[in-house]
Amino acid sequence: MTAQSRENLSGLDLVAEIQRLKKERNAVILGHYYQRPEIQDLSDFVGDSLELSRKAAETDADVIAFCGVKFMAETAKILSPDKIVVLPDMDAGCSLEDSCPPEQFARFRAAHPDHIALTYINCSAEVKALSDIIVTSSSAGQIIAQIPPEQKIIFGPDRHLGGYLNRKFGRDMLLWPGVCIVHEAFSETELIKLKAQHPGAPVAAHPECPPHIIDHADYVGSTSGILQFAKTMGGDTLIVATEPHIIHQMEKAVPEKTFIGAPGADGNCNCNICPYMALNTLEKLYLALRDLEPRIELDEALRLKAKKSLDRMLEMAGGTVGKGDLGRA
Ligand code: 13P
Ligand code: SF4
């Protein structure tokens, strides 16, 4: 435990203090849809991985307080090296990043010299530096469409997203065997039971879900794509097969509709809360803005290498939901 986290902050109005420090520091708070509702509500911008990358690249703030996981904050630093980028909890990692150590990925690349490396943004800066083009779930479809069909591709680290892209776009990418522990935890048996209880309710799924969940989906797309589907779909009830904190934005946008998190094996959706995203709290956000720590720092040579593959994504991606997103299953 750090000295900071032992501090007693119980007397503070954290929301007011965060707002005060944000002005004082000329900071912008970027929040992912999987953050706790109280953090989403304090964020200047809430979005998916691609949108947050774009915001990080464009901001004229001096400080970016990134409320998401480490690979997202690292992406912000790669694209905005002159800004101070803080992440409320430096242990906010990602099972996909953990599954793909750079040395092993370098060996995978070296074993397939005639392949390009198309890599999911959920990876370390080192793996980005070893890649040709980065994708997010909202930009993958549009980017793959621009790669000639005869070009051989390795795709990492998410084998479910890679498998979904192979099926949808008729590709034969070689897949790294990583998974997201959150989307892996949905239960098909419980989902079928839930669908029976809500006949006619569509299912929206993130492409990090395994195929036995995707097979039940009426819509497959990024977090922003799923949110857009929630707003525009015809019915009044949606089953949401992604991290349940996104339901906060759905309930704000369309309060008259009902959103039900897809269940895990125990029949409820609590096991699908991302344990890494959940590490960020209001207390830690306050301390990060006050102390400008913990800070993302990157070696400049590594940053420049990683930036190349991210720049390729930003050039190739239309980025807007409905244009670049994966769309219906
Ligand atoms: P999005 O790019 O759809 O926001 O996904 C990020 C993520 O980590 C999903 O688990
Ligand atoms: Fe990583 Fe999965 Fe959490 Fe997204 S939900 S940050 S992929 S562990």
Q: Which residues of the chain have pLDDT under 50?
A: 1, 3, 319-324
In short, whether 277's Cβ falls inside 6 Å of ligand 2 is yes
The ligand whose atoms approach the alpha carbon of 135 most closely is 1
CA of 274 to the centre of ligand 2 (A): 6
* 120 and 255 both lie in a single domain: no
Question: Is 218 contained in some domain?
Answer: yes
pLDDT for res 287: 98
Asked if 317 and 57 touch (Cβ cutoff 8 Å), the reply is no
Q: Are 57 and 101 members of one domain?
A: no
Residues 143 and 164 in one domain: yes
Ligand 2 centre distance from Cα of residue 92 (Å): 10
Q: Which ligand is nearest to the CA of 51?
A: 1
Ligand minimally distant from the alpha carbon of residue 206: 1
CA–centroid distance, residue 136 to ligand 1 (Å): 7
126 lies in some domain? yes
Q: Are residues 247 and 110 in the same domain?
A: no
- pLDDT of 8 reads 87
Distance CA 274, CA 234 (A): 29
Report yes or no on 298 lying in a domain: no
223 Cα: distance to centroid of ligand 1 (angstroms): 6
Beta strands in the chain (DSSP E): 27-32, 45-47, 63-67, 84-86, 115-120, 133-135, 152-156, 174-175, 203-205, 219-220, 237-241, 258-261
Closest residue by Cα to atom 1, ligand 2, is 94
User: How many domains are contained in the chain?
Assistant: 3
Do residues 151 and 200 both lie within one domain? no
Q: Tell me: do 102 and 89 sit in the same domain.
A: no
CATH number of the structural domain spanning residue 223: 3.40.50.10800
Whether residue 119 sits in one domain with residue 130: yes
Classify residue 133: in a domain, yes or no.
Answer: yes
For a mutational test of ligand 2's pocket, the pick from 69, 158, 159, i.e. the residue with the most ligand atoms closer than 8 A to its C-beta, is 69
7 and 89 assigned to the same domain: yes
d(CA 54, CA 38): 23
Do the bridges between strand 63-67 and strand 27-32 make them parallel or antiparallel, or are there none, so unpaired? parallel
Does 212 fall in a domain?
yes
Q: What's the angle, vertex CA 129, arms to CA 131 and CA 35, rounded to 5?
A: 90
Residue 283 shares a structural domain with residue 250: no
Same domain, 13 and 50: yes
Nearest ligand 1 atom to the CA of 183 is: 10
Q: Is residue 59 part of a domain?
A: yes
Write down the pLDDT at residue 126.
98
At residue 321, the pLDDT reads 42
Element (H, E) at 123: none
Same domain assignment for residues 76 and 19: yes
Q: Which domain holds residue 254?
A: 186-264
Q: Return the ligand number nearest the Cα of 276.
A: 2
**The dihedral sign for the CA sequence 123, 126, 128, 132:** negative
Distance 122 CA to ligand 2 centre (A): 8
101 and 153 assigned to the same domain: yes
Non-local CB neighbours of 195 within 8 Å, separated by 6+ positions: 201, 203, 216, 239
Per-residue tokens: 242: 């992604």
**pTM of the full structure:** 0.94
Q: Please identify which residue in the block is written with the tokens 């946008």.
A: 253
